[in-house]
Structure 1
Amino acid sequence: MERPRLVDSGAFRSAMGDMPGAVTVITSWGPDGAPSGATLSAVVSLSLDPPQMLACFDHASNTLGAIQSHGRFLVHVLAHGQQDIAMTFSGKSPNKFRDIAWESGVLGLPKIEGCVVAVACEVENIIESGDHKIVIGRVIEVDREGALNPIVYARRKMLPFESEGANQ
């Protein structure tokens, strides 16, 4: 049986841009003891029993290296008004935390203040696929603000997510 031809990467990227997703920042501690973080678009819940999440990192991600070294990571769902934080963590600057309000939070991981939710995970598995590595984490703890509205990313824009009952 002949395999179907793969779609053009530009067409695929464009199609995925129409699929809204939470704006997330993943943090951990680097091997040098400094906090590390990255904005990711591919972060989802994986399982309820046991509770698991997955996050997809580019092979060259410094934060991926930090997570591999530390073994734990914190998933932040950013709140409306934190678009600048998402942009800061999407870059390669080594000083991402310099102008960001953060503290040592859940499991002692670097926690960005003012997020909708922070989910602490322990690495269970790392799978290589394509140009990314998929990090599967067992959820250890959840820190939820509840009253904040998250932002979503779609069509190359960060937009507020608001709905009746979103804060209940």
Structure 2
Amino acid sequence: MAHDTAVTRDAFRALMGAHPSGVTVVTTSDDRGAPHGFTCTALCSVSLDPPQLLLCASTSGSTLPVIAARGAFAVNFLHGPGRRAAEAFAGPAAQRFTSVPWLPSPGTGLPVLPDDAHAVAECRVTRLTAAGDHTVVIAEVLRTHLAAPADSEPPLLYGMRRYATWPS
């Protein structure tokens, strides 16, 4: 296998796009209660004790400053029919919460997407680390909400520039 010494932005995007990921929408709200969010596939678990996860957020996006100021966010793990939320939250910020139903969670008041997610994690930021054009956000998971197995749709996946669902 040949290898190039310089990796372009497009080559790196193609490489990472070849590895499918689960699709989430990360949501938070500002000090006036206005909701903010973005579609995120760069998310993984970090620790069981304490329960922690990490995600990567674009430093040029409008949601990261709100997450940093609030110190909290929710991760909405999307199911297959939640593709509409994935697409909406990857588009213009002004249209995200007008095209997808949301509610404040009973625990933290963070915006959650009950019609589009099969699971939700409510999180408290513990560390922000700059990493190129993104920021790595490490957070403690404070609450989880899981759909009942009978009510759960298969998870939404994204890879190779297309959406798919986990086989049943």
Q: TM-score, normalised on structure 1?
A: 0.89
How many residue pairs were aligned? 160
Q: Aligned partner of 2:127: which letter?
A: N
1:140-155 aligned at under 5 Å gives the runs: 140-145=142-147, 146=149, 147-155=152-160
SS state at 1:98 partner: helix
1:92-107 aligned at under 5 Å gives the runs: 92-105=92-105, 106-107=107-108
SS state at 1:45 partner: strand
**CA distance in structure 1 between the partners assigned to 2:65 and 2:51 by the alignment:** 23
Q: Paired residue for 1:166?
A: none
SS state at 2:89 partner: helix
Conserved? CA contact 1:23–1:40, under 8 Å? yes
Q: Aligned partner of 1:108: which letter?
A: G
TM-superposed CA distance for 1:155, in Å, is: 0.5
Flag structure 1 segments of 5+ consecutive residues without an equivalent. 164-168
SS state at 1:96 partner: helix
SS state at 1:97 partner: helix
Q: Paired residue for 1:111?
A: 112
Q: Does 1:52 align with 2:57?
A: no
1:14-163 aligned at under 5 Å gives the runs: 14-105=14-105, 106-114=107-115, 115-145=117-147, 146=149, 147-163=152-168
Q: String of CA shifts for 1:89-143, please: whole Å, max 9, x gaps.
A: 0123323111211111142110101311100110000000111001111010110
Q: Aligned partner of 2:8: which letter?
A: D
**CA distance in structure 2 between the partners assigned to 1:92 and 1:134 by the alignment:** 22
Q: Aligned partner of 2:123: which letter?
A: C
Flag structure 2 segments of 5+ consecutive residues without an equivalent. none
Please identify which structure carries the higher helix content.
2
| Distance change in 2, residues 1:32/1:108 (3 Å) | closer
Conserved? CA contact 2:88–2:95, under 8 Å? no
> Alignment RMSD, CA only?
1.5
SS state at 1:125 partner: strand
